Structure 1
């Protein structure tokens, strides 16, 4: 029997050898192993989780049909109602989110799993755009970017929409175009720095008309910062009653400084004895203009800056509903982003 001291030395040598073997094994794994293209776990190659890439969705081959309202992504009733009335499920589900709100990861994932591209209109009601541009809200922007990046799906994102609308606190009566552009670029840059690859950036002005006469070019952040142009306009007492007067003039102006795909990001037809004709005109005009889709505001709402309650729902009459069903199908509106 060896002396106690000798046994102690033997145990020490064994422990050192074991430690060296473990360290060597870890080093081999870290380097990918001999002849391996990456680390292994249980014999299966592993790699860092990849973020969702929206690039295949940026130039869709068809016309999408969407629906918008103020409810959260989890409030799915608007989608079910629209599906029943329109005769098909919407391809886009737009909703509003206030500046400072967390991103609803599960709710947006729920929409995407059910076939709807989530579109979030981020509304900076109480956040001056000049302050955003200076980095005053960077903690929130970084947090939001990280939350969106962790969501395994695409998100169409509109920031400070209708920036040319005087009824908005970030509109031309309160904010300079340069401040809007600077804030947009800053938010975009922070997202890029955080590695966000699943956002479709949608620039959403209101159509130029008597209520929103401001020129749009000064508000445009540039093609490097925009994926889609999203026009907002309604067939009603102010905007107009024909695609040729409501959307076409603004489309022509935008074509002078951007060639990005155009989505009608928010629209509707007010109740009147001409609603059926206006619905037909909308779909026919949108298809002819080559837009990538339109998003319908299927709600009742006061007109901006006024007290008149407007009913934009497609179900206000049998004729309106039939016109919507027939014209959306006839003009091939309905394109799932699940198919690219």
Structure 2
């Protein structure tokens, strides 16, 4: 749904910045955060008055696992979530890695090294391979030559390699919310409970930012897809990406409503706010003072016991 030219670079000096967050601040509860770098994380925590225990970042296919970033984010007991995208940049353009090539073993050396790097880091990482794989807007998503069967074969091959290397990874299967032109059902894309630890679900309220969009409440955004997921697996869930725009409605009220609705989604244990301005749409919690204040009012109250 959202272009993710978000490859993160990190220097050792950011360790100081990350350590300067609110030392005794309350947890932000069920909410995690997707950010472009640790400095943004620290700045938002100061504004929000709470600490995000769950942090997500993106990584493309030809990049080594960033152990330094993982170490820094694991401070204060943070959990680490990685959206691992099978794509790379070639001559200034994004190129998708075909699932069938992964399934055929053509990338085994890279996958093996990635698993070994995570193991060497010593921290458990949750990985969402090919997030929003059911979409039709990204270079690694479904086509007539990049099928659901290829996806499942690729997923299982990757997991087997990580098992062989004994890398501490939790596997999160993360489709986009249902939409009318999807090329595959959830059931056709699901690798099976034996290969998945957790279910993710990405969804956004686009408001009226596009002619084809309309304002949707939190429930209108997620209800149908949540029910569909429950029909194929009983695995615990997270909202891997969620956000709302300001245009077309009341974003502050949307946030408050999300906090009221989330306890009804009994399987959802984490909800990652997409705190990024992607150049077309500003999804951050700080797009208005009212939106930030709404989050401050509700976030600690969503903590799950």
Instruction: Report if TM-score (shorter chain) is over 0.5.
Output: yes
Q: TM-score per shorter chain, which class?
A: 0.7 to 0.9
- What's the counterpart of residue 65 of structure 1? 31
1:259 CA displacement: 0.5
Which whole-Å CA distance do the structure 2 matches of 1:330 and 1:147 have between them? 37
- What's the counterpart of residue 233 of structure 1? 203
- What's the counterpart of residue 184 of structure 1? 155
Worse-superposed segment, 241-250 or 143-152: 241-250
1:176 CA displacement: 0.6
1:245-297 per-position Cα deviation (integer Å, ceiling 9, x unaligned): 21111111111110111100111111234111111122222221121010011
TM-score by length of 2: 0.81
- What's the counterpart of residue 262 of structure 2? 286
The answer to whether residue 112 in structure 2 is matched with residue 142 in structure 1 is yes
Distance 1:63 1:219, change over 3 A: farther
Which whole-Å CA distance do the structure 2 matches of 1:243 and 1:221 have between them? 28
Q: Secondary structure at the match of 2:271?
A: strand
1:79 CA displacement: 1.3
- What's the counterpart of residue 295 of structure 1? 272
| Equivalent residue in structure 2 for 1:264, among 239, 260, 265 | 239
Q: Secondary structure at the match of 1:162?
A: coil
Task: Report if the CA contact (8 A) 2:50-2:300 is conserved.
Answer: no
- What's the counterpart of residue 7 of structure 1? none
Which whole-Å CA distance do the structure 2 matches of 1:92 and 1:288 have between them? 21
Which whole-Å CA distance do the structure 1 matches of 2:193 and 2:262 have between them? 22
Gaps of 5+ in 1: 1-61, 303-308, 336-340
Gaps of 5+ in 2: 1-27, 88-95, 208-212
1:36-90 per-position Cα deviation (integer Å, ceiling 9, x unaligned): xxxxxxxxxxxxxxxxxxxxxxxxxx95321113x3xxx4112102211221111
1:167-189 per-position Cα deviation (integer Å, ceiling 9, x unaligned): 11222235211111110111000
Q: Secondary structure at the match of 2:32?
A: strand
Alignment of 1:319-330 (within 5 A): 319-330=290-301
Alignment of 1:1-340 (within 5 A): 64-69=30-35, 71=36, 75-125=37-87, 126-173=96-143, 175-196=146-167, 198-210=168-180, 212=182, 214-237=184-207, 238=213, 241-272=216-247, 273-290=249-266, 291-302=268-279, 309-332=280-303
Task: Report if the CA contact (8 A) 2:31-2:54 is conserved.
Answer: yes
Which whole-Å CA distance do the structure 1 matches of 2:287 and 2:189 have between them? 36
Max Rg structure: 1
TM-score by length of 1: 0.73
1:318 CA displacement: 1.7
Task: Report if the CA contact (8 A) 1:120-1:155 is conserved.
Answer: yes
Which whole-Å CA distance do the structure 2 matches of 1:239 and 1:150 have between them? 47
Q: Which has the higher strand share?
A: 2
